[in-house]
Chains A and B, each alone.
Chain A
Amino acid sequence: MIEVKNVTKEFTKKISKKETTKFKADDNISFKVKSGEIVGILGPNGAGKTTLLRMIAGIMEPTEGSIKINNLNYHDNSEEIKKQISFLSGSTKLYKDISPYELLTMCGEYYGLEKEEITKRINEITKRFNLDSFIHQRIDNLSTGQMQRTNIARCVIHNPNIYIFDEATSGLDIIASKTILDFIKEEKKKNKSIIYSTHYMEEAENICDRVILIHKGKIIKEGTPSAIIKECQVTNLRDAFFCLIGGNNNE
């Protein structure tokens, strides 16, 4: 269970050598994600999605508000929470000078798994994601698809309860994207909580149980994709989004 309550993130931006200005990347955001639920965070680039997910993943701290993961907060239980979370971002890269096997071992060690447990998990993951043929090759020699599978594999090494995907399919071809989407569906069946951020509205429409539309750091709508589409009297989420922000807002 993820509980985001009145979260605000403020940044200071330098506008000239002497002048700075403050702006809110996220403004008073609140929502919950239950077990076995896929919640989509949707919005255009710069809406505040990545900042929000970084705060949920414990990489950043909110300026105001609180984030609770399974009733634990980052201030007191940072390591315990991170052991339950997996974060996969489109900008997340892998260490290129090691093999997927070494990467998975290293991740397992960071998550505090015992040596035998790591070996067992790697064997399971290798079968699940078909890593056999390249598990001992250097990552910089792998194809994009193989890298993507390795990236997903490192997310599951510690068997997390919560997944956070930030533009995970951005820039990927249709096959690599499908690998991720199939993986998300499988994990949902295992009763995992999943936050899925994207600016591909159609993708969210197909995969998410519930979506949260964010614009300029604020939640503008929350609900099931079908309910939002129906409420806006349009045929898809993209049009619903434009309807909610008041037409073709280019800002």
Chain B
Amino acid sequence: MSKKILITIKKELRSIFRDRKSIVRMFLFPLIIPAMIIFYGILYDNIDNEEITHTVGVNYEISEVEKQIADTLNIQYKEYNTKKELENAYQEKQIGGYLIYEDNNYTIYTDQSATSGMTINALLTEYLENYSQYLTNQYLTEEGIDLDKAYNHFTYESQDIGESNYFLQVILLVSITYIIMSICLSTSNMATSTTAAEKENGTLETILTFPIKRTELLIGKYLSSAIIGFITSIIGLILMIISLYYSKENYNVFSTINLSIDLSTIIISIIIIFLASFFIASIAFALTCYSKTYKEAQSASQLLNMISIIPMFVNLFETKITYYYYLIPICNYEQILIDLFSNNITLTNLLLTIISTFIYIVVVITYIIKAYNSEKILYSN
């Protein structure tokens, strides 16, 4: 590598490491990953351990049997005389919902736009089904019918044949999105400060008078940006792996996940992140090269951050993923990393991602070299 490229890389990295704001902006982002994973662990463990009792109003007298069924479902009853009284109690939040019995018909009243309302509705439905079952059983017994013969014609069970755990998928999806976002954020920040900010500060003219080819100058700036992107994402990756292992040991909700992170997984993930950093850095440069000011460059690079969250939606909506998806840059990095950590990776998808990224990098770099050799970029105003 040319000595002048190395001098430029040194200059740019020194500049970024001396700017506290930039360091915070770039390196704080990967720290969100362990915080989020541990937060999930604490949150879900607490939910599992908590026994929440829901208070429900009724307009009739509760029998002993009904009370027993309600107890098993953690439902607490309050008896009222009229519908008006129930409505008032609900408005005053004394009860979370109410059940009205009229003409041999039960009506459940809950606010189903709220999570608590949906839960109470489900509990009361289960309660009524259980009570109905109890009455059926009582009738059948009175008629002298063997309940065991009436119900148990066969036995059944269910087995999870999915290759990965849903919870792990969600955690991986969010963590990897954050890793890719950290690349987008750090490379766009670097691209902004090494191009537009240098134009705005008036230092670009100084450096252009030095005996360095514009292509060397650009490559130096580009490589420093890709290096920063790679460093931040590697920090994110390491933190993700450590926090997943820590959470598996310490939180019940993670105890069932199948983590099999071996050396090959780590090497492949580093290669993917490396390529992602270099590609995203090139895009960040292409987006910011025509900007005259720091602000303009920042707005232009926002597009990168927006693209990085698209794969999260694709996965959340369980969209069917085809080979073509692995040709879409940024989306493919996130998907291949999710595949990798959840043991769903295929060689075809991996090769599609790697080869397409090489091609994209060459195309974008060729474009920005051409752009940087034009006076329009240097003196766009």
Contacts and interface: CB of A to CB of B under 8 A. Distances in A.
Place the interface of chain B in its size category: 20 to 34
A241 interface: no
B124 to A, nearest CB: 64
A60 B376 CA distance: 10
B7 A109 contact: yes
Interface in A53-102: 54, 57-61, 78-80, 82-83, 85-87, 89, 91-98, 102
B303 to A, nearest CB: 23
A145 B268 CA distance: 54
Nearest to A80: B211
Given A61-B375, A106-B7, A106-B11, A92 B211 contact: no
B209 interface: yes
A91 B202 contact: yes
Contact of B209 (A57, A61, A98, A102): A57
Contacts of A154: 206
B207 to A, nearest CB: 8
Interface string A32-53: 0000000000000000000000
Instruction: Say what secondary structure dominates the interface of chain B.
Output: helix
Interface in B195-231: 201-203, 205-213
Interface residues of A, number: 31
B221 to A, nearest CB: 14
Contact of B211 (A79, A93, A94, A102): A79
Given A110-B4, A110-B7, A94 B378 contact: no
A95 B7 CA distance: 14
Nearest to A84: B211
Given A93-B201, A97-B19, A78 B7 contact: no
B125 interface: no
A107 B202 CA distance: 16
A78 B209 contact: no
Contact of B210 (A82, A89, A97): A82
A200 interface: no
Contacts of B201: 93, 96
Nearest to B4: A110
Interface of B: 3-4, 7, 11, 14-15, 18-19, 201-203, 205-213, 375, 378-379
Given A59-B209, A78-B213, A96-B201, 11 more contacts: A54-B205, A57-B209, A58-B208, A58-B209, A79-B211, A80-B211, A87-B206, A87-B209, A93-B201, A97-B15, A109-B3
